[in-house]
Chain A
Amino acid sequence: MTDPFKLWSYLSSEPLLWLWATLLAYWLGDLIFRMTRRSPFANPVMIAVVLLGSVLLATHTPYERYFDGAQFVHFMLGPATVCLAVPLYDNLPKVKRALLPIAAGLIVGSTTAVVSVLAIAKAMGAGPILLASLAPKSVTAPVAIGISQQLGGEPSLTAVLVIITGMIGAIVVTPMLNLLGFRDWRARGLAVGVAAHGIGTARAFQVHETAGAFASIGMGMNAVLTAFLAPVILSLF
Chain B
Amino acid sequence: MIPALSLILMFQLVGEILSRALVLPLPGPVLGMIFLLIALSASERVRNVVRPVAQFILAHLSLLFVPAGVGIVAHLSDLQEHGFGLALALVVSTMAAIIAGAAAFVFVAKLIGSRADD
A residues lining the B interface (CB < 8 Å) = 22-23, 25-26, 44-46, 48-49, 52-53, 56-57, 63, 66-67, 70-71, 73-74, 76-89, 92, 97-98, 100-110, 112-113, 116-117, 120-121, 124-126, 130, 134, 137-138, 141-143, 145-147, 149-150, 154-165, 168-169, 172-173, 176-177, 180, 182, 184-188, 190-192, 194-196, 198-199, 210, 218, 220, 223-224, 227-228, 231
Contact = CB atoms under 8 A, between A and B. Distances in A.
A89 B95 contact: no
13 contacts: A79-B9, A83-B53, A84-B58, A86-B51, A86-B55, A104-B107, A154-B78, A156-B69, A160-B72, A163-B69, A180-B99, A195-B97, A224-B33
Interface in B62-109: 62-75, 78-79, 82, 84-86, 88-109
B9 to A, nearest CB: 6
Interface string B5-33: 10011011001000000000111111011
Interface of B: 5, 8-9, 11-12, 15, 25-30, 32-34, 36-37, 40-41, 47, 50-51, 53-55, 57-58, 61-75, 78-79, 82, 84-86, 88-109, 112, 114, 116-118
B107 to A, nearest CB: 7
A82 B12 contact: yes
Given A25-B66, A53-B73, A186-B116, A117 B98 contact: no
Nearest to A193: B101
Contacts of B78: 130, 154, 157
A227 B30 contact: yes
A120 B26 contact: no
Contacts, number: 333
Given A112-B96, A194-B101, A80 B64 contact: yes
A156 B30 contact: no
Contacts of B68: 74, 77, 141, 145, 155-156, 158-160
